[in-house]
Structures are given as C-alpha cells and as structure tokens.
C-alpha cells in the first residue's frame, strides 16, 4: 500500500500566523531601551524574541511547503505590505502622534492592552493547534503555547495594575482599550472554524480581566479591518520599511 502523504496546513494560514508573530514582535521590540523600568525593558525584549522565534518556525515550514526557493528570510524581508496577512491590530503604532490615544512619545497602556487582547486569543488558539493534523504545526503550537501563556500573564497583570491604579493610569488604559477593541472584530471576521470556536472563551477571559481592572469594555463595532486579506493601515509599510531596509539594500548578504 502506498504511503499516504503527511497532512500539511494551508500555506496562507501558516503565513497568517507567522506575519502576526513577526509584526507584533517588531512593534514590541520598539520598547528596547525605552521601557518604563529596567525589568520591563527586559521583559518586553524577551516577549519580542519569543514572537520572532515563532515567526521563524512558521516561515521555515511555509517555505518548505512552497518549495519554490523561498526562505524564512525572503518571506519576512522581501514581501511587500499587501502580501502580509497579519491582523491590523498588530501593526498599529504605540507612540507619537500616530497612536490615537498616546499622551507621550511611547504609551505603555497601548502596548499592554494590545498584547492582552492578542495573547488571550493566542493562548486559546495555540492550545487548539496542538492537535492539528499537520504534525509540524502541532509541534510549533506546543512550543508556542508555553511562551504565550507568559505573554498573557505579563499583559494581564499590567492591565489590572494600570486599570485599577491611579486616575491617570486608569484613564490612559481605558483610552487605549477604546481605541484598540474595535480592531478585534478581525479575529472573528471570515475566521476558520477552529478560531471561530474560541470566541466565547475569549470573551469570557477578556471580560473577567477588564472587570478586575475596573475597565469598561467598549463596543466592538465600527470599521472592520481586513489585514488578513492584505488590506492594511498605512502604518504597516513604515514598519516594514524599517525592518526590511538592511536586507533589501544588501540582498543575499549573510553575517
């Protein structure tokens, strides 16, 4: 009897997961050297490294399935913004005038709220993907599950600390939540069955944390972002320009 081929996850789905991890890793890495305290500077750098490590494994798997000469580096550095499939939430800036709620050059509340909303989803999703029929993706999920549980614990602790803290920290965290929550609609729009099944659990986890943080959950309505379909905000092209600049100036270079 002929041996059956090993099931493989769809390449577009692998790129979606990888792009999510890479883009958020790049955003969080912008705190390196700028953390509010030294411990947070180190913590955010470690979270960024975890996410970029996840992206590498996923890009490697996708490149092997594509079998067209693509590599993890070409998938990360040589695709343009419309080719990326990350959620729009993850590319939004957290600093300066481009961040709708920022009252300083870098607004930690924006970073914490975004990490909380996304990590809550990924704790559930990576756990579900551990039983995926693609054994390579299942192995990546098992490794990533351990990392993202820490990401969620870090973000949730800070969410509660800021939300139930001073009047200023509460106001800034509520403003960040009001700004970012509508972007989470994209988690569920055109979601695959495995992700769609997580919505109730995600809502429960989010609501419990917001109640502890004395924050009010805003409406999730409004504009529906379509980053997963390659329709991004203007911010992604600037992020990629900074991230990809060296690789594009010196194609094929190694160091």
3-state SS string for 210-251 = HHHCCCCCCCCCCCCCEHHHCECCCHHHHHHHHHHHHHHHCC
Would you say the C-alpha torsion 232, 88, 230, 49 has a positive or negative sign?
A: positive
pLDDT tens column, 11-63:
999 999 999 999 999 999 888 777 777 778 788 989 999 999 999 999 999 99
Whole-angstrom Cα distance, residue 12 to residue 3?
A: 26
What residue spans of the chain are helical by DSSP H? 11-29, 38-66, 72-77, 108-129, 135-163, 167-180, 185-188, 193-196, 199-212, 235-249
pLDDT at 5 over 90: no
SS3 106: strand
Quickly name the fold that domain 11-220+228-249 has.
Ferritin (1.20.1260)
Whole-model pTM: value is 0.91
Beta bridge mates, 106: 95
pLDDT tens column, 76-99:
998 999 999 999 999 999 764 444
pLDDT tens column, 110-141:
999 999 999 999 999 999 999 999 999 999 99
Whole-angstrom Cα distance, residue 120 to residue 80?
A: 28
Whole-angstrom Cα distance, residue 167 to residue 112?
A: 17
To 10 degrees, the CA torsion angle through 93, 98, 99, 101? 180
> Higher model confidence: residue 106 or residue 168?
168
Share of the chain above pLDDT 90, in %: 66
Beta bridge mates, 95: 106
* Structural domain boundaries in the chain: 11-220+228-249
């Amino acid at each position: 009897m002929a041996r059956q081929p090993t099931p493989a996850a769809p390449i577009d789905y692998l790129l979606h997961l990888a792009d999510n991890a890479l883009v958020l890793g790049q955003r969080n890495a912008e705190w390196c050297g700028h953390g509010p305290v030294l411990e947070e500077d180190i913590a955010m750098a470690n979270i960024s490294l975890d996410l970029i490590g996840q992206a590498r494994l996923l890009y490697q798997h996708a490149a092997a399935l594509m079998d067209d000469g693509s590599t993890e580096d070409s998938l990360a550095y040589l695709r343009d913004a419309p080719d990326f499939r990350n959620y729009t939430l993850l590319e939004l800036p957290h600093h300066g005038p481009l961040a709708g709620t920022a009252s300083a050059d870098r607004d930690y509340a924006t970073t914490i709220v975004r990490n909380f909303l996304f990590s809550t989803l990924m704790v559930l999703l990576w756990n579900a993907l551990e039983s995926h029929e693609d054994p390579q993706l299942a192995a990546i999920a098992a490794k990533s599950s351990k990392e993202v549980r820490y990401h969620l614990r870090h973000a949730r602790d800070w969410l509660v600390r800021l939300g139930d803290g001073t009047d200023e920290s509460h106001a800034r965290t509520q403003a960040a939540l009001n700004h970012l929550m509508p972007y989470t609609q994209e988690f569920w729009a055109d979601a695959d069955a495995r992700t769609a099944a997580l919505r109730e659990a995600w809502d429960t986890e989010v609501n419990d944390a917001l109640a502890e943080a004395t924050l009010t959950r805003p409406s999730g309505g409004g504009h529906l972002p379509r980053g997963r379909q390659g329709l991004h905000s203007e911010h992604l092209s600037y992020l990629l320009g900074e991230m990809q600049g060296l690789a594009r100036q010196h194609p094929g270079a190694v160091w």
